[in-house]
Amino acid sequence: MILCDVGNTSVDLFYAGKRTKLSAEDFDPATIYDTVYFASVNAVFNERVRDYTNWYNVRKFIDWDKYYPTMGIDRIMVCEAIDNGVIVDAGSAVTVDVMQNALYQGGFISLGLRAAREAYARVSPALDVSFNFEVDLAKMAKNTPDALTVGFLAPLICRIKELGKPIYLTGGDAVLLSRYLPEATVDEDLIFAGMKKLIEKGSKC
Amino acid sequence: MILCDVGNTSVDLFYAGKRTKLSAEDFDPATIYDTVYFASVNAVFNERVRDYTNWYNVRKFIDWDKYYPTMGIDRIMVCEAIDNGVIVDAGSAVTVDVMQNALYQGGFISLGLRAAREAYARVSPALDVSFNFEVDLAKMAKNTPDALTVGFLAPLICRIKELGKPIYLTGGDAVLLSRYLPEATVDEDLIFAGMKKLIEKGSKC
What tens digit of pLDDT does each residue of A5-48 get?
998 889 999 999 999 999 998 999 999 999 999 999 998 999 99
Residues in chain B closer than 8 A to A110 (CB atoms): 151-152, 155
Report CB contact under 8 Å: A93, B123.
Answer: yes
Residue A179 main-chain phi, psi, to 5 deg: -55, -35
Q: Under an 8 Å CB criterion, which residues of B touch A? A: 68, 70, 72, 92-94, 96-98, 104-112, 115-116, 118-120, 122-124, 126-127, 139-144, 147-148, 150-152, 154-156, 158-159, 162
Q: How many CB atoms lie within 10 A of CB A155?
A: 26
Q: How far apart are CA B112 and CA B165, in angstroms?
A: 22
Cα-based angle A20, A6, A52 (whole degrees, multiple of 5): 95
Give the mean model confidence (pLDDT) for residues B169-175.
96
Looking at CATH, the fold of the domain delimited by B1-81+188-205 is given as: Nucleotidyltransferase; domain 5 (3.30.420)
Compare CB distances from A108 to B70, B122, B151 and report the shortest one's residue.
Answer: B151
- Determine the 3-state secondary structure of B141 from DSSP: strand
Q: What is the DSSP string of B64-117?
A: TTTS-TTS-HHHHHHHHT-SSEEEEEESSEEEEEEEETTEEEEEEEEEPHHHHH
**CATH assignment of A83-186, among 3.30.420.40, 3.40.50.410, 3.60.20.10, 3.30.429.10:** 3.30.420.40
Q: Which whole-number Å values give the CA distances from A49 to A24, A45, A56, B27, in the listed order?
A: 12, 6, 9, 62
B156 touches B184 (CB < 8 A): no
Residues in chain A: 205
- Compute the CA torsion angle A122, A126, A127, A129 (nearest 10 deg): 110
**Residue ranges of E strands in chain A:** 2-6, 10-15, 18-23, 36-40, 55-57, 85-90, 93-100, 103-111, 167-170, 185-186
Compare CB distances from B106 to A98, A108, A142 and report the shortest one's residue.
Answer: A142
A74 noted as active-site residue = yes
Q: What's the confidence (pLDDT) of residue A204?
A: 55
- Determine the 3-state secondary structure of B205 from DSSP: coil
Compare CB distances from B112 to A72, A123, A154 and report the shortest one's residue.
Answer: A123
Give the mean model confidence (pLDDT) for residues B108-123.
97
What pTM value is reported for the model?
A: 0.93
Q: Tell which CATH architecture fits domain A1-81+189-205.
A: 2-Layer Sandwich (3.30)
pLDDT of B171 > 90? The answer is yes
Residue B109: which pLDDT band, with cuts at 50, 70 and 90?
A: very high
Report CB contact under 8 Å: B142, A98.
Answer: no
Residue A202: which pLDDT band, with cuts at 50, 70 and 90?
A: confident
The CA radius of gyration of chain B, in Å to the nearest whole number, is: 19
Residues in chain A closer than 8 A to B141 (CB atoms): 106-108
pLDDT of B205 > 60? The answer is no
Domain ranges for chain B: 1-81+188-205, 84-186
Report CB contact under 8 Å: A107, B141.
Answer: yes
Looking at CATH, the fold of the domain delimited by B84-186 is given as: Nucleotidyltransferase; domain 5 (3.30.420)
Strand partners, B174: none
A97 touches A111 (CB < 8 A): no
Q: How far apart are CA A24 and CA A8, in angstroms?
A: 7
Long-range contacts of B120-125 (CB under 8 A, 24+ apart): B120/A93, B120/A109, B120/A111, B120/A115, B120/B148, B120/B152, B122/A115, B122/A118, B122/A119, B123/A92, B123/A93, B123/A111, B123/A112, B123/A115, B124/A92, B124/A93
- Looking at this protein, which amino acid is placed at residue B14? F
Compare CB distances from A147 to B108, B119, B151 and report the shortest one's residue.
Answer: B108
pLDDT digits (tens, 9 = 90+) for A159-189: 999 998 899 999 999 999 999 999 999 999 9
- Determine the 3-state secondary structure of B202 from DSSP: helix
Q: How far apart are CA A97 and CA A11, in angstroms?
A: 24
A87 touches A190 (CB < 8 A): yes
| Nearest residue in chain A measured CA to CA from B148 | A109
- Looking at this protein, which amino acid is placed at residue B160? I
pLDDT digits (tens, 9 = 90+) for A44-102: 999 999 999 999 999 999 999 999 999 999 999 999 999 999 999 999 999 999 999 99
pLDDT of B181 > 90? The answer is yes
Q: Which whole-number Å values give the CA distances from B127 to A76, B112, B146, in the listed order?
A: 16, 17, 11
